[in-house]
């Protein structure tokens, strides 16, 4: 693939996946708002607790086969058949194990819903049919199909969760809707990327896939520990009600971060795999993405921090007001939550999956330890413990990335410092504006909307100042590329 052709496909993929992220983000947000008025914090807490176990088991039945198929330089039909067979067999094994061990696993999390865990475990078998198909779509940069899958599966979850919730299914409404989402996503991936005669096995192919997949699996295990460690601590120390509150707050904060992480993973991982030996091009992508993320997420974190109570009341209702506490402190560190995801595809493209696993071990240990220490102060303490872990993890990832691709440190700092200065300069103004509006308006949603509008205007002016006075010529060039491409897409 030529350099220009790769650039074109990357730009199209980025535009497509970004559009998808906005659509899916909107759908998930609307679903969250509606479901919060149908289901209780305890019901969300039960599903969140069960999901902890499912997340861990997902790692082992997948065995990193999907990413290995994306990353492998030369892929043949034997690899595809071997990958499908291994994923399917491991999916069945994990389902049987979870089904048999469900009574002990639920006791570990201090919940009683054994049958819920057993039913959700069916997702292992459902998802095993789509792993290879989805990986091939990603490898071939067929992002429009992935977009369709994400949107339709999200819609299906929202529709059935709301419908079953209204009918009074309770927590089972969320469980059934989740299984339907998996079924729809797998069905679309399989239909759009079918695999003829998928069963087959090659020992040599298995060894090659599992070498990469093994390192990825270790990394994923500790990644899940990092992402679910705080949930586990809350389930053990504070109970399902607190876990439900924390889950909704975390989801509101994590939706934009998670979706941008998907864009990075699904678009840039296959692209970076194709240019894995070209450090200069990898450095350009890394700094460009850092600039974009800093510009978006640092100001966003300030807004959510200052408006956490108003947002929770306006979006979820007054019964969820306690969720504003974890939302406030988690949102303040939003950039670190998404920033390290830029480094992940670089590690995998370079084949440094075992190095990444070591970092994930450190990160996971920090999340569990800091969360447990913080649990003495309730959800505030746990939120701050998670935030501290995010900052440490981001710092480690950037340092190792520098050693891998030797990016320009000055350009990297120039992409961050101006936005950080703007963020701190605007805080006093926003606090003053919030106090004035709260005294004059009683509608929380109106307060939020007015502050966002005024802040957006201020941010636009500040962006112009930053662009001309602080950013380097390199950063300006990258911003021009993005803006020009977006304008051309709009014209078309």
Specify if 413 maps to a domain: no
| pLDDT (0 to 100) of residue 486 | 45
The residue with tokens 């059935």 is: 160
Measured CA to CA, the distance from residue 11 to residue 204 in angstroms comes to: 36
Residue 461 belongs to some domain of the structure: no
Range of weakest confidence among 150-159, 162-171, 191-200: 191-200
Rg, the chain, Cα only: 22
CB 486 within 8 A of CB 15: yes
The pLDDT value recorded for residue 485 is 47
Confirm whether 94 is domain-assigned. yes
Q: Cα dihedral sign for 347, 348, 349, 350?
A: positive
| Per-residue pLDDT at 224 exceeds 80 | no
pLDDT tens column, 115-156: 998 998 898 888 888 888 888 887 877 777 887 888 899 899
442 within some domain: no
CA distances from 14 to 144, 267, 485 (A): 10, 6, 11
Min mean pLDDT across 20-34, 128-142, 302-316 is at: 20-34
Residue 351 in tokens: 């084949």
d(CA 209, CA 357): 17
Residue 490, pLDDT score:
42
C-alpha distances out from residue 371 to 117, 236, 385, 454, Å: 25, 12, 5, 36
417: in domain: no
* 151 belongs to a structural domain: yes
User: Residue 147 sits in which domain range?
Assistant: 3-407
Q: How far is it, in rounded angstroms, from Cα 171 to Cα 116?
A: 9
In a domain, 268, yes or no: yes
Which of 211, 214, 207, 216 has its CA nearest to residue 78?
Answer: 207
Give CA torsion, residues 327, 332, 334, 337, to 10 deg. -90
Q: What is the spatial distance between Cα 217 and Cα 58, in angstroms, rounded to a whole number? A: 10
Q: How many CA atoms lie within 13 A of 220 on its CB side?
A: 20
Question: Would you state the pLDDT for residue 480?
Answer: 61
Residue 157's alpha-carbon distances to 6, 31, 422, 433, in angstroms, are 34, 9, 39, 38
- Of 18-27, 146-155, 363-372, 477-486, minimum mean pLDDT range: 477-486
Residues 391 and 399: their CA atoms lie apart, in Å, by: 13
Q: How many CB atoms lie within 10 A of CB 413?
A: 13
Reduced to 3 states (helix: H, G, I; strand: E, B; else coil), residue 181 is helix
Instruction: Please tell me which of 69-83, 330-344, 435-449, 470-484 the model is most confident about, judged by mean pLDDT.
Output: 330-344
449 lies in some domain? no
**Region of 489 on the Ramachandran plot (φ > 0 left; ψ -120 to 50 alpha; else beta):** alpha
pTM flag (> 0.75): no
Residues 6+ apart with CB under 8 A from 294: 335, 339, 415, 416, 419, 420
Total domain count, the chain: 1
pLDDT at 491: 47
**Averaged pLDDT, 77-106:** 88
Neighbours of 440 (CB within 10 A): 10
Sorting pLDDT into bands at 50, 70 and 90, what band is 294? Answer: confident
Averaged pLDDT for residues 8-28: 63
**Backbone region of residue 470 per phi and psi (left: phi > 0; alpha: psi in -120 to 50; beta: other values):** alpha
């Amino acid at each position: 693939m030529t350099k220009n052709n790769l650039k074109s496909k990357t730009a199209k993929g980025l535009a497509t996946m970004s559009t998808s992220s906005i659509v899916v983000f909107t759908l998930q947000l609307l679903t969250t708002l509606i479901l919060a008025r149908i289901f209780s914090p305890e019901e969300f807490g039960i599903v969140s607790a069960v999901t902890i176990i499912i997340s861990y088991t997902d790692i082992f039945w997948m065995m990193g086969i999907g990413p290995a198929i994306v990353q492998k330089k030369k892929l043949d039909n034997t690899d595809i058949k071997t990958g499908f067979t291994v994923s399917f067999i491991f999916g069945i094994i994990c389902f049987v194990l979870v089904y048999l061990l469900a009574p002990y696993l639920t006791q570990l999390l201090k919940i009683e819903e054994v049958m819920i865990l057993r039913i959700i475990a069916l997702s292992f078998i459902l998802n095993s049919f789509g792993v290879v198909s989805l990986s091939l779509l990603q490898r071939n940069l067929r992002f429009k199909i992935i977009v369709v899958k994400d949107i339709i599966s999200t819609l299906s979850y929202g529709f059935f969760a709301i419908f079953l919730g209204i009918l009074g299914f309770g927590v089972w409404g969320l469980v059934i809707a989740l299984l339907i989402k998996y079924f729809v996503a797998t069905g679309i991936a399989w239909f759009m990327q079918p695999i003829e005669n998928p069963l087959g096995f090659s020992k040599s192919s298995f060894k090659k896939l599992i070498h990469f997949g093994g390192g990825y699996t270790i990394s994923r295990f500790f990644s899940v520990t990092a992402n679910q460690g705080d949930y586990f601590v809350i389930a053990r120390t504070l109970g399902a009600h607190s876990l439900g509150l924390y889950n909704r707050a975390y989801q509101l904060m994590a939706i934009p971060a998670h979706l941008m992480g998907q864009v990075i993973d699904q678009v840039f991982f296959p692209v970076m795999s194709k240019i894995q030996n070209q450090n200069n091009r990898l450095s350009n992508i890394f700094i460009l993405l850092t600039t974009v993320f800093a510009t978006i997420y640092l100001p966003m974190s300030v807004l959510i921090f200052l408006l956490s109570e108003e947002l929770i009341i306006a979006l979820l209702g007054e019964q969820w007001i306690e969720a504003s506490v974890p939302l406030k402190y988690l949102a303040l560190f939003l950039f670190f939550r998404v920033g390290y995801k830029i480094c992940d595809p670089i590690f995998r493209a370079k084949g440094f999956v075992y190095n990444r696993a070591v970092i994930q071990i450190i990160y996971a240990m920090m999340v569990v330890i800091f969360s447990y220490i913080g649990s003495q102060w309730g959800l505030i303490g746990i939120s701050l413990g998670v935030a501290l872990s995010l900052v440490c993890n981001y710092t480690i990832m950037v340092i190792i990335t520098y050693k891998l691709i030797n990016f320009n440190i000055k350009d990297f700092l120039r992409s961050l410092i101006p936005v950080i200065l703007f963020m701190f300069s605007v805080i006093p103004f926003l606090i003053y504006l919030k106090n004035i509006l709260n005294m004059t308006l009683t509608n929380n949603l109106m307060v939020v909307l007015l502050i966002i509008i005024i802040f957006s205007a201020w941010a636009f002016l500040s962006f112009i100042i930053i662009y001309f006075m602080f950013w380097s010529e390199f950063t300006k060039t990258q911003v021009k590329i993005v803006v020009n491409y977006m304008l051309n897409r709009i014209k078309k």
